[in-house]
Amino acid sequence: KAGLQYFGAATDTPGFREREPYPESYSQYDAILEDPKEFGQTTPTNGQKWLFVEPEPGVFNFTEGDYVANLANRTNKILRCHALVWHSQLAPWVETTEWTKEGLREAIVRHITEVAGYYRGRCAHWDVLNEALDEDGTYRKSVFYNVLGEEYIRLAFETAAKVDPEAKLYYNDYGIERPASVKTAGAVRLVKMLKDAGIKVDGVGMQAHLHADNHPSEADLINTIGMYKEVVKEVAFTELDVRIKVPVDEQKLQWQSECYQKVVGACVKTKDVCVGITIWDFYDPFSWVPHVFPGNGASLLWFEDFSKHPAYDGMVNYF
């Protein structure tokens, strides 16, 4: 860990894992996941999302989220909770309702009150708001934004702070790892807007879904963290994976290893701000990457046959 609060891996409920059905023979997977020497933290990749926890208005179901929350508890892992307000994997009713402002405010408050209330005391961090920015750094035109404008962002953080005062509250997004990116500037603006309004926001989560052949330098990562440090107390790498364009070869695995090492290096060198690193699952067959980015894969640390990527030792040596 080299002074970081944690190094962890996200995981999914068995039935939800990208490769289905999930055979019992994946006991090797569970053994790695549960080994405290490998991972000291976890995040549910899907189980706490709106679609699963509030599939119908006011109807809550914590079965999927509990799988990972209980695993964290049983194996002494820090739990990062993900995500209260997000435009994607939203229950369909949220998008089909003809909202009044007041109606949508109430729906957001009820959702956060129930979900963060249910998990109160167990979530070290909450991703209160996920991916609220477009590629150009302006606000994403989600149902939340279209009805309420910027107000929904303040409402989400204010409500989360009331419901779970102990949890560290995060703004989380992808493509906000480089200092010159307009989206990074947007993330700084977003959290500054909250701070200026006197609203609690503790951290920025850089998802860090990166590319082996075109990744940020360690200096870039450190400079970006420096920008967030101006406006929040902490940052974390929350969904790290480093995709490779198939076919996989030694050269690309080497670039991948360098990328993973740069993230470790940047976090360790700024550990007064950077609290930890989470990889977005650890076993290639369970990665979301090939499903969403065809032609890419092998983005994690364990290959299908459970042998390790060069990035594993690369990182261990770098810590």
With the C-alpha atoms ordered 127, 130, 135, 137, is the resulting torsion angle positive or negative?
negative
DSSP letter at 134?
-
Q: Is 42 one of the binding residues for ligand XIL (CB under 6 A)?
A: no
Nearest distance from C-beta of residue 97 to ligand XIL, angstroms:
23
With the C-alpha atoms ordered 148, 150, 155, 157, is the resulting torsion angle positive or negative?
positive
Comparison of 18 and 202: residue with beta carbon closer to ligand XIL: 18
Tokens found for residue 34: 């549960």
Among 112, 41, 125, 50, CA closest to 78: 41
Nearest distance from C-beta of residue 105 to ligand XIL, angstroms:
24
- Burial-class residue 121 by CB neighbours within 10 Å (0-12, 13-18, 19+): exposed
- With a CB cutoff of 8 Å and minimum separation 6, the contacts of 316 are none
| Candidate list 207, 257, 261, 299; residue touching ligand XIL; CB under 6 A | 207
| Candidate list 52, 152, 157, 288; residue touching ligand XIL; CB under 6 A | 288
| Candidate list 11, 42, 48, 130; residue touching ligand XIL; CB under 6 A | 130
Catalytic, 131? Answer yes
Nearest distance from C-beta of residue 288 to ligand XIL, angstroms:
4
Q: Is 256 one of the binding residues for ligand XIL (CB under 6 A)?
A: no
Window 3 to 22, contacts with ligand XIL (CB under 6 A): 18
Comparison of 142 and 207: residue with beta carbon closer to ligand XIL: 207
| Candidate list 13, 41, 45, 224; residue touching ligand XIL; CB under 6 A | 45
Binding mask 88-127 for ligand XIL (x = CB under 6 A): ----------------------------------------
With the C-alpha atoms ordered 174, 317, 34, 28, is the resulting torsion angle positive or negative?
positive
Nearest distance from C-beta of residue 123 to ligand XIL, angstroms:
15
Size of the site for ligand XIL (CB under 6 A): 8
Tokens found for residue 260: 């993973």
Residue of 131, 158, 177, 234 marked active site = 131
Q: How far is CA 187 from CA 55, 231, 293, in A?
A: 29, 10, 24
Q: Which residues pair with 240 in a beta bridge?
A: 279
The C-alpha atoms of residue 283 and residue 302 are separated, in whole angstroms, by: 5
The C-alpha atoms of residue 121 and residue 12 are separated, in whole angstroms, by: 21
Window 164 to 183, contacts with ligand XIL (CB under 6 A): 174
The label of the residue with tokens 């949220």 reads 94
Nearest distance from C-beta of residue 157 to ligand XIL, angstroms:
17
Catalytic, 177? Answer no
How many beta carbons lie within 10 A of that of residue 1, not counting itself? 13
82 membership: H or E segment, kind and range: strand 78-86
Among 116, 43, 32, CA closest to 307: 32
CB-nearest residue to ligand XIL: 288
| Candidate list 13, 46, 48, 278; residue touching ligand XIL; CB under 6 A | 46
Nearest distance from C-beta of residue 63 to ligand XIL, angstroms:
17
Residue of 54, 64, 239, 258 marked active site = 239
Which residues of the shown chain bind ligand XIL in the complex (CB under 6 A)?
18, 45-46, 130, 174, 207, 239, 288
Q: Which residues are catalytic?
A: 131, 239
